[in-house]
Structure 1
Amino acid sequence: MSALHSEISSQPHERDRDIVLSARDVTVGFGSKIVLDRLNLDVYRGEILGFVGASGTGKSVLMRTVLRLLPRRSGKIEILGKDYDKLSEPERNQLDMRLGVLFQQGALFSSLTVKENIQVPMREYLDLPKNLMDELAHLKIRMVGLAADAADKYPSELSGGMIKRAALARALALDPDLVFLDEPTSGLDPIGAAEFDELIAKLRDTLGLTVYMVTHDLDSLFSVCDRIAVLGQKRVLVEGTVEDMLACDDPWVQSYFRGKRARSIVPREDIADRNDVNGAGAHSREK
């Protein structure tokens, strides 16, 4: 464990925060290949955590393991204070209702309309009359910034950005406490990605969500993430704020956050200070 990771993890204000996701000594492998080895990670209530790492290091593997889509070989995972392994099936269903997931490509059912896709979790977990489900689906559609007529469109009729928003509306269908986003801005143009970041931040603030975001998008990390965790060598190498990442001496972290593609990106605090001086307003990105 790096010195920075140890220092950040031991800070009193972090220890006192409400942990909504806890992974302890989690090991995941496929055959003889170990992907995650005794990994530890905490996600705190109300934060947007950006989870990053080189391609193939296991970022999505960890997310799918947390969601029980992949088995783990050892370790303990607690979500919202509950250990899945100790819950009955009805208790697991209750816990599942408090989670929302947006997969990388949206994973919408192609044979269902946007409205019907959003209603899938409602049909699985709730017993509601059709008119109420329709009303709730339209509410979620408005919540993610889609036009009302998107409700009756099929995924094949949607743009990439609309698919992301529709998938997010489905993730919010049951009013979850914790939302998992897998590469939410991948495939979006810079304007669409910025708007999606702003939407995530707005929903976090208005709905009180906790967001676990797997991403490669430096703009997202700098503009909306409260904290960042870096995966490498089969575990979390370092975690902390953007400023902590910029100060970290790990070679990969330095290359990622201070490399050529990061040259035009500056921390939110620096942008705010600059805008205060210029009177330009509070923007989250350097243009």
Structure 2
Amino acid sequence: MQPSDTEDSTARQAPDQDVVIRAKGVTVAFDGRTVLEELDLDVRRGEILGFVGASGTGKSVLLRTILGLNRKQAGTIEIFGIDYENAHDEERLAVEQRWGVLFQHGALFSSLTVLENIQVPMREYLDLSPRLMRDLARLKIELVGLQPDAADKYPSELSGGMIKRAALARALALDPDIVFLDEPTSGLDPIGAAEFDELIRTLRETLGLTVYMVTHDLDSLYQACDRIAVLGRKKVLIEGPLQMMLDSDDPWVRSYFHGKRARAIVTDDTAGAPYEESH
């Protein structure tokens, strides 16, 4: 059953103190081609938000725009209530220390060990002794489930799953409030992907993180995410819990969540029976 307009409006709104990222009217274009147009999106404190959309729709573009890596042509993006693009240097620095980023494919520095990779944000933003940085980096390695001997390995010596965990450890180096994940389970086998999803949920609970996850992985959306936002036609088409995605009449959303490659999803409403499309 489709939610009423009132229910949908309520689901979309959250008190300002609960919104840690607010994108309003965001437009981004490259060489005259508009990728995002008047896009609105709120990310709430303590949630795991899954951000999905067809290839080439601009999922990573929005992520990079939030991080200040792409310039926008219109709109505002507030992070912790601060307009990051127009903030003073001190304010921008304070915001940057409150986020961590896991880029697609890990993006580890190949010439540095795992320990040294994790120390990069510490060297950039903090004034710590080498011993303290080393101890903190080893703590992050343990936190993401890597063995202690991974500290001295180079990225070329790591498996795909180990690279993802090492990159996550680096994202957690400054004890951030928000973690941005760009296709975190891409390239992992189903078991490794499921373990990574469980790790993200555990870290959210233990560290109180807010997680913004760009993904195409239906299992991640089902297992890890509290809320899902779907990008299409240059803006957010729909946002809400999984059931709202299943109930949507939008053609792309229905194709994505009910297509041949979609898993059988169990919902509370069906009391343990797989959700089936009506004919």
TM-score normalized by the length of structure 1: 0.90
Give 1:264 shift. Answer: 2.5
1:91-170 → structure 2 map (5 Å cutoff): 91-170=91-170
Query: Which residue of the partner structure matches residue 221 of structure 1?
Result: 221
Shift of 1:7: 4.9
1:52 touches 1:228 (CA, 8 Å); kept in 2?
A: yes
Whether the 8 Å CA contact 1:179–1:212 is kept in 2: the answer is yes
Structure 2: distance between partners of 1:143 and 1:99: 17
Q: Which residue of 2 aligns with 1:10?
A: 9
Distance 1:129 1:13, change over 3 A: same
Deviation at 1:86, TM superposition (A): 3.6
Distance 1:106 1:149 in 2: 19
Q: In structure 2, what is the Cα distance between the partners aligned to 1:260 and 1:215?
A: 18
Number of residue pairs the alignment of both structures matches: 271
Q: CA deviation at 1:247?
A: 0.4
**Structure-2 residue corresponding to 1:49:** 49
Gaps of 5+ in 1: 276-287
Q: Name the structure 2 match of 1:235.
A: 235
One-letter amino acid of the structure 2 residue matched with residue 265 of structure 1: I
C-alpha spacing 1:150/1:224, structure 2 compared with 1 (3 Å): same
- Residue 225 of structure 2 aligns to a residue whose secondary structure is coil
TM-score, structure 2 length as denominator?
0.93
In 2, Cα distance between equivalents of 1:150 and 1:134: 13
* Structure 1 vs Structure 2 CA RMSD: 1.9
Contact 2:266/2:272 (8 A) holds in 1? no
Contact in 1 for aligned 2:12/2:240 (Cα 8 Å): no
Aligned to 2:261, the other structure's residue is in SS state helix
User: In the TM superposition, what whole-angstrom CA distance separates every residue of 1:251-285 from its partner, at most 9, and x where no partner exists?
Assistant: 10000001111143334x479x649xxxxxxxxxx
Secondary structure at 1:156's aligned position in 2? helix
Q: Write the letter of the residue equivalent to 1:215.
A: T
CA distance in 1, matches of 2:80, 2:222: 27
2:266 matched to which residue of 1? 266
Question: Shift of residue 14 of structure 1?
Answer: 3.7
Give the aligned partner of residue 29 of structure 2: 29
The percentage of aligned residue pairs carrying the same residue is 68
Query: How many angstroms apart in 2 are the aligned matches of 1:274 and 1:193?
Result: 24
1:27 CA drift (Å): 0.3
* Residues 70 and 274 (structure 1), Cα distance of their counterparts in 2 relative to 1, 3 Å cut: same
- 2: CA distance, partners of 1:82 / 1:256: 35
Cα separation, 1, equivalents of 2:156 and 2:183:
20
SS in 2 for 1:15: coil
Q: Is the CA contact 2:11–2:240 (under 8 Å) kept in the aligned structure 1?
A: no
Within 2, Cα distance between the matches of 1:264 and 1:247?
15
- Deviating beyond 4 angstroms after TM superposition, the runs of 4 or more aligned structure 1 residues are 3-9
- Which ranges in structure 2 are unaligned for 5 or more consecutive residues? 274-279
Asked if the contact 1:230–1:239 (Cα under 8 Å) also holds between the matched residues in 2, the reply is yes
Secondary structure, counterpart of 1:11 in structure 2: helix
1:8 to partner: Cα distance? 5.5
